[in-house]
Amino acid sequence: MLLHTVIEGHGPRLALLHPVGLHGGFLAPLASRLAERYQVMRIDLRGHGESPLEPLGHSMADFADDVHDTLQAHGFAPCAVGGFSFGSMTAQELAIRHPADVSALLALAGPCSYDSTRRATIAARGIDSLAHGMAAVIDATMERWFTPAFRQSPEALAARKYLLDRDPRGWAQGWKAISGLDTEPRLHQLRIPALCVAGECDVSSTPAAVRRIADAIPGARYEVLPGAPHMLFIEQLEATADVMMRFLNALPDHRAA
């Protein structure tokens, strides 16, 4: 499936993948900063933003294959791929399934596997939205995503409104795929530079969960952003941009001209 994209900037290529429930537009402020030195592609994943909703995705492989098809169609691969939460999971799967697409991996605020109890809880988030609408999941989502002091900010309220207004089928298919996430046993296959970033206050993808990715990828770099929650690219935009830029600028093949 070909996905909706927005490309800006010039320089080494960087694709950005958003969290479940949102779309590439929420990455626009981050992309604008990175596009000062890089050519940045923002991608709307299947069922999100302006990308098609159907056929519904059922696995992380479905979402990763969509990104592969899109990168190939635009002649954008190989490129660095940065993903947040669900985007991180998709980026990991992409790097494993289509290694020629990914020259460097930036995995932010997302895990690599779950235990069986957590899988059932995650699957229920999608089921609840289909049965009762997005209003049934919105408050818990905002509590997971942002710190209490930030939840009434314009940025957090914009995310809340978007979730409430969207088709729950897009949300539900994302959570179905997430419930089957299990890249950890295969991450050792990767032979690319990798940056794994956690938010210190992230209750969804804890620092320990993100550390598991770094431990599994040979030579991966691990960082924790102090005070950052799950949506670190929204709540701590500058710190997120800085940590990504430092990593990218240190790579010979991705150093900005």
The CATH number given to whatever domain includes residue 54 is: 3.40.50.1820
- Whether residue 111 lies inside any domain: the answer is yes
Q: What is the pLDDT of residues 97-133, one digit of tens each?
A: 999 999 999 999 999 999 988 999 999 999 999 999 9
CA distance 248 to 257: 12
Please state, for a pLDDT cut of 70, what percent of the chain lies above it: 98
Please state, for a pLDDT cut of 90, what percent of the chain lies above it: 96
Instruction: With cut-offs at 50, 70 and 90, classify the pLDDT of residue 252.
Output: confident
- Whether residue 208 lies inside any domain: the answer is yes
Residue 257 has pLDDT above 50, yes or no: no
- Whether residue 89 lies inside any domain: the answer is yes
What are the start-end ranges of the H helices in the chain?
Answer: 28-34, 60-73, 86-97, 116-132, 138-145, 154-165, 168-179, 207-216, 232-235, 237-249
Q: What is the pLDDT of residue 167?
A: 93
Name, in order, each residue with C-beta under 8 angstroms of 22's C-beta and a sequence gap of 6 or more.
48, 49, 159, 162, 163
- Whether residue 255 lies inside any domain: the answer is no
Q: What is the pLDDT of residue 247?
A: 98
Phi-psi region of 75 (alpha: psi -120 to 50; beta: other; left: phi over 0): left
Contact call for residues 112 and 92 (beta carbons, < 8 A): yes
End-to-end CA distance of the chain: 33
Q: What is the pLDDT of residues 168-211, one digit of tens each?
A: 999 999 999 999 999 999 999 999 999 999 999 999 999 999 99
Q: What is the pLDDT of residues 31-50, one digit of tens each?
A: 999 999 999 999 999 999 99
Q: What is the pLDDT of residue 255?
A: 46
- Whether residue 94 lies inside any domain: the answer is yes
Q: What is the pLDDT of residues 79-89, one digit of tens each?
A: 999 999 999 99
- Whether residue 143 lies inside any domain: the answer is no
Residue 254 has pLDDT above 70, yes or no: no
- Whether residue 121 lies inside any domain: the answer is no
Q: What is the pLDDT of residues 148-163, one digit of tens each?
A: 999 999 999 999 999 9
* Torsion 121-136-16-109 (CA) sign: negative
Total count of domains within the chain: 1
Q: What pTM does this model have?
A: 0.97
- Whether residue 235 lies inside any domain: the answer is yes
CA distance 166 to 27: 18
Q: What is the pLDDT of residue 256?
A: 42
CA distance 56 to 152: 33
Residue 222 has pLDDT above 50, yes or no: yes
Tell me the two tokens of residue 113. 């596997």
Domain span at 54:
5-115+181-249
- Compute the residue count for the chain: 257
